[in-house]
Structure 1
Amino acid sequence: MASSNSAQDVRCDICKDAKVQMHCDFCHVNLCINCIGKHVSDNYDNHRIVAYEQRDTISIYPRCATHKGKSCEFHCKKCNTCLCSFCTTVADTHKGHPISVLTDIYISKREAIEKDIDELAHIISPTFEEIATGLESEIANLDKEYEKLSFVLSKHGEEWHREINNIVDKMKMEIEAIKIKHTNILKNHLDEMKQKQNLIQETLLKVNRIEKSNYVSMFIEYSSKNKELSNFPPKFQVTLPTFSPQTINTKQLNELFGSLTPLSITKDENGYKLKKLSAKELLREPKLITSIDTGFENLQSVTCQNEGEIWTNARNNSDMKCFDSGGSLIKTVKTESDAAPFDIALTRDGDLLYSDGKSRTLNKTINEEKEEMIRLKNWVPKQLCITSSGDLLVTMCSDDFTQSKVVRFSGCTMKQTIQFDNEGKPLYSGNNKMKYITENRNLNICLADSGANAVVVVNKAGKLRFRYTGHPCTNNTKPFQPIGITTDSQCQILTADEANNCIHILDKDGQFLGFIGNCNLKNPYGIYVNKNDDLYIAENTGGKVKKIQYLK
Structure 2
Amino acid sequence: MDFRSSAQEAVYCNLCETALVQIHCDTCLTNLCTACVGEHMMMGEPTGHQFVRIQSIRPGQHPNKCLISTHSGKRCDLFCKQCQTQVCSSCIASGSHSDHKIMEIQQIIEFRKKKAANDKRLINSLILPSYVTMAQQLQNELDHIERKHEEVVREIVKHGELKHLDINKTVNILKAEADDFRNIQVRTLQQEITAIDGKISSIGEVIANAKNVLDSQSLIVVSSYESRCQEFKMLPQTVNVKVPQFKPRMISETEQEAMFGSLSVEDVQTEVVYTEMPAALYSSPLKELMEEPEIISTIQSCHSACLHSVVCRGNDMVFTTGNDCTIESIRLTEKGGSKLQRARTESGNKPWDITLDKDGHLVYTDGDKQTINLKKNDKTQTLLTLDNWKPLNVCNTLYGDLLVIMDSCDQKQARVVRYSGSSEKQSIQFDENGKRLFHSYSGHKYIAENRNLDICVIDCQAGAVVVLDQGGKLPFRYTGQMTVPKNRLFCPLGLTTDSQCQILISDISNDCIDVIDQDGQFLRYIDCGLKCPWGLCTDKNDYLFVAEKGGTLRKIRYLENERLP
TM-score (norm 2): 0.51
Task: Specify the alignment match of 1:534 in structure 2.
Answer: 543
Q: Relative to structure 1, is the Cα distance of residues 474 and 494 closer, same or farther in structure 2, using a 3 angstrom cutoff?
A: closer
Matched, 1:490 2:490: no
**Counterparts in 2 of 1:221-370, with a 5 A limit?**
277-296=284-303, 297-315=305-323, 317-326=324-333, 327-370=337-380
Task: Specify the alignment match of 1:263 in structure 2.
Answer: none
1:37-79: CA deviation from partner (whole Å, max 9, x where unpaired): xxxxxxxxxxxxxxxxxxxxxxx9977949x9xxxxxxxxxxx
Task: Specify the alignment match of 2:520 in structure 1.
Answer: 510
CA distance in 2, matches of 1:209, 1:309: 40
Task: Specify the alignment match of 2:457 in structure 1.
Answer: 447
Name the count of aligned residue pairs. 310
CA distance in 1, matches of 2:557, 2:332: 15
Q: Is the 8 A contact 2:237 2:274 kept in 1?
A: no
Q: Is the 8 A contact 1:502 1:516 kept in 2?
A: yes
CA distance in 1, matches of 2:404, 2:375: 17
Q: Relative to structure 1, is the Cα distance of residues 294 and 416 closer, same or farther in structure 2, using a 3 angstrom cutoff?
A: same
CA distance in 1, matches of 2:238, 2:272: 10
User: CA offset at residue 306 of structure 1?
Assistant: 1.4
Of the three residues 416, 420, 425, the one matched with 2:430 is 420
1:252-299: CA deviation from partner (whole Å, max 9, x where unpaired): xxxxxxxxxxxxxxxxxxxxxxx8643211111110001110121211
Q: Relative to structure 1, is the Cα distance of residues 447 and 200 closer, same or farther in structure 2, using a 3 angstrom cutoff?
A: same
User: CA offset at residue 331 of structure 1?
Assistant: 2.2
User: CA offset at residue 358 of structure 1?
Assistant: 1.4
**Counterparts in 2 of 1:119-158, with a 5 A limit?**
none
Q: Relative to structure 1, is the Cα distance of residues 309 and 485 closer, same or farther in structure 2, using a 3 angstrom cutoff?
A: same
Of the three residues 424, 439, 462, the one matched with 2:472 is 462
User: CA offset at residue 200 of structure 1?
Assistant: 9.7
Of the three residues 480, 483, 499, the one matched with 1:473 is 483
1:288 maps to amino acid: I
Task: Specify the alignment match of 2:558 in structure 1.
Answer: 550
Task: Specify the alignment match of 2:209 in structure 1.
Answer: none
Matched, 1:437 2:444: no
Task: Specify the alignment match of 1:397 in structure 2.
Answer: 407
Q: Relative to structure 1, is the Cα distance of residues 491 and 200 closer, same or farther in structure 2, using a 3 angstrom cutoff?
A: closer
Q: Is the 8 A contact 1:501 1:524 kept in 2?
A: yes
2:467 maps to amino acid: V
Unpaired runs of 5+ residues, structure 2, are 1-139, 151-192, 205-229, 242-269, 561-565
Q: Is the 8 A contact 1:208 1:389 kept in 2?
A: no
Q: Which runs of 4+ in 1 moved over 4 A?
A: 60-66, 207-210, 221-226
Task: Specify the alignment match of 2:534 in structure 1.
Answer: 525
1:409 maps to amino acid: Y
Unpaired runs of 5+ residues, structure 1, are 1-59, 69-104, 117-196, 211-220, 231-274
Task: Specify the alignment match of 1:206 in structure 2.
Answer: 237
Q: Relative to structure 1, is the Cα distance of residues 276 and 371 closer, same or farther in structure 2, using a 3 angstrom cutoff?
A: closer
Q: Relative to structure 1, is the Cα distance of residues 404 and 501 closer, same or farther in structure 2, using a 3 angstrom cutoff?
A: same
Q: Relative to structure 1, is the Cα distance of residues 305 and 208 closer, same or farther in structure 2, using a 3 angstrom cutoff?
A: farther
User: CA offset at residue 209 of structure 1?
Assistant: 11
Q: Is the 8 A contact 2:492 2:508 kept in 1?
A: yes
Moved more, 427-436 or 350-359: 427-436
CA distance in 1, matches of 2:543, 2:399: 22
CA distance in 2, matches of 1:222, 1:442: 30
**Counterparts in 2 of 1:23-102, with a 5 A limit?**
65=147
1:231-271: CA deviation from partner (whole Å, max 9, x where unpaired): xxxxxxxxxxxxxxxxxxxxxxxxxxxxxxxxxxxxxxxxx
User: CA offset at residue 513 of structure 1?
Assistant: 0.3
Of the three residues 370, 374, 379, the one matched with 2:384 is 374
User: CA offset at residue 476 of structure 1?
Assistant: 3.2
1:482 maps to amino acid: P
CA distance in 2, matches of 1:497, 1:515: 10
Q: Is the 8 A contact 1:313 1:319 kept in 2?
A: yes
Task: Specify the alignment match of 1:386 in structure 2.
Answer: 396
User: CA offset at residue 308 of structure 1?
Assistant: 2.1
Task: Specify the alignment match of 1:136 in structure 2.
Answer: none
Q: Relative to structure 1, is the Cα distance of residues 329 and 474 closer, same or farther in structure 2, using a 3 angstrom cutoff?
A: closer
User: CA offset at residue 433 of structure 1?
Assistant: 2.2
Q: Is the 8 A contact 2:239 2:271 kept in 1?
A: no
Task: Specify the alignment match of 1:234 in structure 2.
Answer: none
User: CA offset at residue 311 of structure 1?
Assistant: 0.3
User: CA offset at residue 348 of structure 1?
Assistant: 2.2
Q: Is the 8 A contact 1:307 1:324 kept in 2?
A: no
Q: Is the 8 A contact 2:367 2:390 kept in 1?
A: yes
CA distance in 2, matches of 1:348, 1:431: 30
CA distance in 1, matches of 2:240, 2:399: 10
